[in-house]
Amino acid sequence: MKQVAIDRRQFVRGSAALGASALVAGVPGLTQAQSPITVGFIYVGPRDDFGYNQAHAESAAALKKMAGVKVLEEENVPETQAVQKSMQGMISQDGATLLFPTSFGYFDPHILSVAPKNAKVRFAHCGGLWTAGKHPANAASYFGYIDEGQYLNGVIAGHMSKSKKLGFIAAKPIPQVLRNINAFTMGARSVDPKITTTVIFTGDWALPVKEAEATNSLADQGVDVFTMHVDSPKVVVETAARRGKFVCGYHADQSKLAPQAYLTGAEWNWITAVTTMVDAARTGKPHPNFVRGGLKDGFIKTSAYGSMVPAGARKQADDIKARMMNGSFDIFAGELKDNTGKVVIAKGTALKQTAVELESMNYLVEGVIGKV
Amino acid sequence: MSRSMQFVEALVLPVLALTGALLAFGLFVVGTGRDPVQAWGLLFLGAFGDAFSIQNTLQRAAPLMLTALCVALPARAGLTVIGGEGALVAGALACAALPYLMPLPQGAGGTLLVLVASALAGAGWIALAGWLRQWRGVNETISSLLLAYLAINLFKHVVEGPMRDPASLNKPSTLPLDESIRIGSMGTMDVHWGLVWGLAACVAAFIWLSFTTHGLATRIVGGNRRAAGLIGLPSTALILTACALGGAAAGLAGGIEVAAVHTAANASVIVGLGYTGILVSFVARHHPLAIIPVAILLGGFGAAGSMLQRRMGLPDASVHVLLGFAFVLVLAAECWRGRLRLPRWLSARAALPVPAREGA
């Protein structure tokens, strides 16, 4: 048992360091007594989807290794009355006091309806919807700036593409998705401004057949590097690999699915945010309502480069990554035009990741072929 | 066969089938290296074990009662309609769209109006499938399914386009319904009034089919259309009415989902409640009253599945395994209908001579 205790301490120390470097100032967590806690995770899809849900399930799995933390999980819970019942069940039948309902659609109206009825329970929602004053104080949101990962994907894709045509399979034209498409395209065009990204919106988060069709049709048009923003990138990765094309991953590590085609990927590292929430709950600190971070805060990470990525490409991406880590790199800086020629960010303006304008992005940048 | 025997059979066969399904599920649980007794216990606890579980089950059952009627009513008129999801989606859209079209009164009046709009939209949608069959000879099973896809895409187009609330950035939705129009919980229970609508619709459908001339005529059309034609029944009108009533039920389910749960129309409404209704209706043999317990049973499976995941770490798919066993056995048990034998000394008097068939 002693062995385990040491492992846990090291783990807590490591995650506390990460947590401290995140937005929440001074969460030492170690000096104070940590009471045992029951934590519930709810996923909208299967937890082994190689995507959105797996990224969250990985943080739940890491949390299970901490002593004194009991983790409950439920998968395939739709964004209906069902999730309200799952949350309430975890609270009243299993004694959970901190919940991670992970799907974007769980917040409004579901968390907003359950949270006020359970004032002593903390809710931490992934997606960034919580607003001070408007939403209950026992709810919170955490999110990461994964467009940094997509920018780096773009840099590698820009080096690997021979046809100069990239493909992006996206679910819906909403701000978070547009931000990723734009970052990916700008990363690629920083390598070669002749590169274009063709985007196809499938219309929903998990439509495997449409995702495969979109990938095939772009491959037919000469696209040779793909990336995506759908809940499970599995289909796009496998289809692109089967067509002999390259692919950059998203959400989680998909390299196992196609090692010969997988260049790199933008992955979530939710354990940082999750540990911040759990530590606060166990030490009785106020619920950290607003938690955000990017690469430098340990909220996101990149997949290891595939063996086919040459040294030059790695170096350029690593250099930009180093600048992102020290905070001297802004993806969305002027002058930036959208793909109709309109200036969307004026010359001399550089938007930090926290900028509110970025949260309501409604354009595709120059070099993207597609329409919002 | 005597009426009482039929009644006994109608009870005994499903109970036998469910017992078999639970036993088979126990074997499955043993196969995953877990304790089947604990699993059975949790199934009961999760579905009906305490007040929370019962409310959980009833809440999940409520929309299924309405979507099952969308299969059952056309089925009694002889049509196999499986596109209830389309009517539900059309109903949800109509519920959210009405405030865009006209100013609504506050409170119950407004609620009633949005629900009527939902029911009308659903009725129109399934009546369209019926119309295609009567006038164009299009198979209603296929057309209702395709119409469901059409409804879903239309819904997404309108919700993410013309009717989109500009404030719904990352989850495109319509403008939320006015607070006073929304449907709340029943008293202190954590179950919304949709349950009462579901129960009332099932009972009303039963009364219509069993005790009205119009319902009888509909059942005659469903039993034998040529005979119905010979005695001068207006088959087409009766079929369209049955379709419209079924569609109205599913449309109402969509409207209630919006008014009681989601507060606005968005993609979260489309989770396959209409398709689950097909299962419910078939297991209930398209009988409106039987739909109620079957929907509750299915809701119970959903609630229990949640419990199995939390307490035993079983995958979500395990409750689908149980469902699979249950439905296969319920359908297989149909083979014994009319063959259940009472002990000989009891049945000897009840036995009827089998009429000889000509030609064969």
**CA proximity to B174, closest of B265, B98, B268:** B265
Q: How confident is the model over B75-81, as a mean pLDDT?
A: 96
Contact A74, A40 (CB under 8 A): yes
CB contact (8 A) between residue A204 and residue B310: no
Within a 13 Å sphere around the CA of B349, how many CA atoms are in the beta-carbon half?
A: 2
Contact A247, A241 (CB under 8 A): yes
Is A219 in CB contact (< 8 Å) with chain B? Answer: no
Structure tokens given for B271: 């989770």
Inter-CA distances, B320 with A179, B55, B275, Å = 38, 21, 14
What distance in Å separates the CA atoms of residue A116 and residue A135, rounded to the nearest whole number? Answer: 9
Indicate the pLDDT class of residue B23, thresholds 50, 70 and 90. Answer: very high
Inter-CA distances, A77 with A43, A115, A156, A284, B81, Å = 6, 18, 36, 29, 27
**CA proximity to B144, closest of B124, B160, B161:** B124
pLDDT at A28 over 80: no
Phi, psi of B32 (to 5 degrees): -90, 5
What distance in Å separates the CA atoms of residue A16 and residue A21, rounded to the nearest whole number? Answer: 8
What distance in Å separates the CA atoms of residue A142 and residue A125, rounded to the nearest whole number? Answer: 6
Structure tokens given for A258: 């196609």
Mean pLDDT over the full length of chain B: 91
Q: Which residues of A touch B307 (CB under 8 A)?
A: 89, 93
CB contact (8 A) between residue B171 and residue A77: no
Which amino acid, A173?
A: P
Q: What is the pLDDT of residue B10?
A: 79
Q: Which residues of A touch B261 (CB under 8 A)?
A: 80-81, 109
A156 with A141, same domain?
Answer: no
Residue B36: exposure state from Cβ atoms within 10 A (0-12, 13-18, ≥19): middle
Is A178 in CB contact (< 8 Å) with chain B? Answer: no
Q: What is the pLDDT of residue B357?
A: 54
Chain A residue with CA closest to B257: the answer is A80
> Percent of chain A, pLDDT > 70?
91
- Given 3-state DSSP classes, what are the helix, strand and coil percentages for chain B, each rounded to the nearest 5? 75, 0, 25
Indicate the pLDDT class of residue A1, thresholds 50, 70 and 90. Answer: very low
What distance in Å separates the CA atoms of residue A347 and residue A368, rounded to the nearest whole number? Answer: 20
- Residue A148, classed as helix, strand or coil, is helix
Q: What is the pLDDT of residue A2?
A: 38
A164 with A52, same domain?
Answer: no
What distance in Å separates the CA atoms of residue B355 and residue B340, rounded to the nearest whole number? Answer: 20
Q: Which residues of A touch B190 (CB under 8 A)?
A: 88
What distance in Å separates the CA atoms of residue A27 and residue A285, rounded to the nearest whole number? Answer: 9
A273 with A204, same domain?
Answer: no
Q: What is the pLDDT of residue A29?
A: 42
Indicate the pLDDT class of residue A30, thresholds 50, 70 and 90. Answer: very low
pLDDT at A311 over 50: yes
Least confident of A3-17, A22-36, B335-349: A3-17
Torsion sign over Cα B280, B284, B285, B287: negative
Q: What is the pLDDT of residue B6?
A: 79
Structure tokens given for B287: 């009988």
Q: Is A233 left (phi over 0), alpha (psi -120 to 50) or beta?
A: alpha
Is B7 in CB contact (< 8 Å) with chain A? Answer: no
Is A39 in CB contact (< 8 Å) with chain B? Answer: no
What distance in Å separates the CA atoms of residue A161 and residue B14, rounded to the nearest whole number? Answer: 61
CB contact (8 A) between residue A175 and residue B190: no
Length of chain A: 372
Q: What is the pLDDT of residue B1?
A: 56
A186 with A60, same domain?
Answer: no
Is B157 in CB contact (< 8 Å) with chain A? Answer: no
> Percent of chain B, pLDDT > 70?
94
Least confident of A26-35, B297-306, B309-318: A26-35
What is the per-residue pLDDT across B228-261, written as a single tens digit (0 to 9) for each? 999 999 999 999 999 999 999 999 999 999 999 9
Residue A68: exposure state from Cβ atoms within 10 A (0-12, 13-18, ≥19): exposed
A131 with A40, same domain?
Answer: yes
Residue-range definition of the domain harbouring residue A242: 147-267+300-369
Least confident of B103-117, B150-164, B306-320, B339-353: B339-353
Q: Which residues of B touch A82 (CB under 8 A)?
A: 60, 302, 306
Q: What is the pLDDT of residue B360?
A: 40
Structure tokens given for A284: 């009785």
Q: What is the pLDDT of residue A129?
A: 81
Least confident of A157-171, A317-331, B6-20: B6-20
Least confident of A267-271, B146-150, B334-338: B334-338
A208 with A251, same domain?
Answer: yes
What distance in Å separates the CA atoms of residue B301 and residue B150, rounded to the nearest whole number? Answer: 30
Give the CA-trace dihedral at B178, B181, B185, B191, to 10 degrees: -100
Q: How confident is the model over B186-211, as a mean pLDDT?
A: 95
pLDDT at B196 over 50: yes
A98 with A85, same domain?
Answer: yes
A114 with A159, same domain?
Answer: no
Within a 13 Å sphere around the CA of A15, how many CA atoms are in the beta-carbon half?
A: 24
What is the per-residue pLDDT across B86-104, written as a single tens digit (0 to 9) for each? 999 999 999 999 999 999 9
CB contact (8 A) between residue A76 and residue B316: yes
CB contact (8 A) between residue B263 and residue A82: no
Q: Which residues of B touch A108 (CB under 8 A)?
A: 171
Mean pLDDT over the full length of chain A: 91
Residues whose CB falls within 8 Å of the CB of residue A370, separated by 6 or more in sequence, listed in order: A168, A181, A197, A198, A199, A200, A201, A339, A364
Q: How confident is the model over A82-106, as a mean pLDDT?
A: 95
Q: How confident is the model over B152-156, as a mean pLDDT?
A: 96
Length of chain B: 360
Q: Which residues of A touch B50 (CB under 8 A)?
A: 93
A120 with A156, same domain?
Answer: no
Tokens 């296969």, residue?
B328
- Specify the CATH number for the domain of residue A140: 3.40.50.2300
Q: How confident is the model over B12-41, as a mean pLDDT?
A: 91
CB contact (8 A) between residue A72 and residue B262: no
A212 with A351, same domain?
Answer: yes
| DSSP of B248-286 | HHHHHHHHHIIIIIISS-BGGG-SSHHHHHHHHHHHTTT
User: B169 to chain A, minimum CA–CA distance in Å?
Assistant: 6
What is the per-residue pLDDT across A204-249, written as a single tens digit (0 to 9) for each? 899 999 999 999 999 999 999 999 999 999 999 999 999 999 999 9
Domain count, chain A: 2
Q: What is the pLDDT of residue A34?
A: 73
When comparing pLDDT for B275 and A20, which is higher? B275
| Residues 56-85 of chain A whose Cβ lies under 8 A from any Cβ of chain B | 72-82, 85
Is A41 in CB contact (< 8 Å) with chain B? Answer: no
Residues whose CB falls within 8 Å of the CB of residue B189, separated by 6 or more in sequence, listed in order: B55
pLDDT at A25 over 60: no
CB contact (8 A) between residue B271 and residue A72: no
Q: Which residues of B touch A178 (CB under 8 A)?
A: none
Indicate the pLDDT class of residue B197, thresholds 50, 70 and 90. Answer: very high
What is the per-residue pLDDT across B287-305, written as a single tens digit (0 to 9) for each? 999 999 999 999 999 999 9
Q: How confident is the model over B142-147, as a mean pLDDT?
A: 96
Q: Is A327 left (phi over 0), alpha (psi -120 to 50) or beta?
A: left
pTM: 0.86
For the packed helices B36-44 and B288-312, what is the interaxial angle rounded to 10 degrees?
Answer: 130
Q: How confident is the model over A297-312, as a mean pLDDT?
A: 96
- Residue A170, classed as helix, strand or coil, is strand
What is the per-residue pLDDT across A161-191, written as a single tens digit (0 to 9) for each? 999 999 999 999 999 999 999 999 999 999 9
Indicate the pLDDT class of residue B188, thresholds 50, 70 and 90. Answer: confident
Q: Which residues of A touch B308 (CB under 8 A)?
A: none
pLDDT at B45 over 70: yes
Is A213 in CB contact (< 8 Å) with chain B? Answer: no
Phi, psi of A31 (to 5 degrees): -75, -25
A160 with A208, same domain?
Answer: yes
